[in-house]
Structure 1
Amino acid sequence: MMSFSQGDFEESDEQFRSRPRGGRKRKCPPVERLLQKRITPPSQTESILNQGPDYISWLLSGAADEDP
């Protein structure tokens, strides 16, 4: 739906742009932060997935039931 109103578009646009907008303003991170490598320790889930077939065969063999 469009509405038409008489008036100077440039003036109303300037008024619209001059109003403060809500929200949090983002700050640019320093270059050093962008160049840092992200290092995360492997989780237990990843180590289980890396074991692959050995872990699955251990699960299927019922070895978990044998442990006290």
Structure 2
Amino acid sequence: MENQDFNVQEYVKQMLILLDLEIKKDEYQDGVIANFERIKSIAELVNNFTLPESIEIAPTFEP
């Protein structure tokens, strides 16, 4: 799944409204946006990793 149009800053602003959260813009909002940028980068790595067709879902997780 590729979504290059995802705007992290707009996403954070919309979630603040949806969840009725108040984050002080000067103190914290830039940090929250930066963290979501990092999360987006990590998620893209995971989502773009292709698995072979022979992989089967395990019924239980055993470390």
Which category of TM-score, normalised to the shorter sequence, fits these structures? under 0.3
Could you state the TM-score of these two structures normalised by the residue count of structure 2?
0.23
Question: TM-score under structure 1 normalisation?
Answer: 0.22
Compare relative contact order (CA 8 Å, sep 6+) and give the higher one, 1 or 2.
Answer: 2
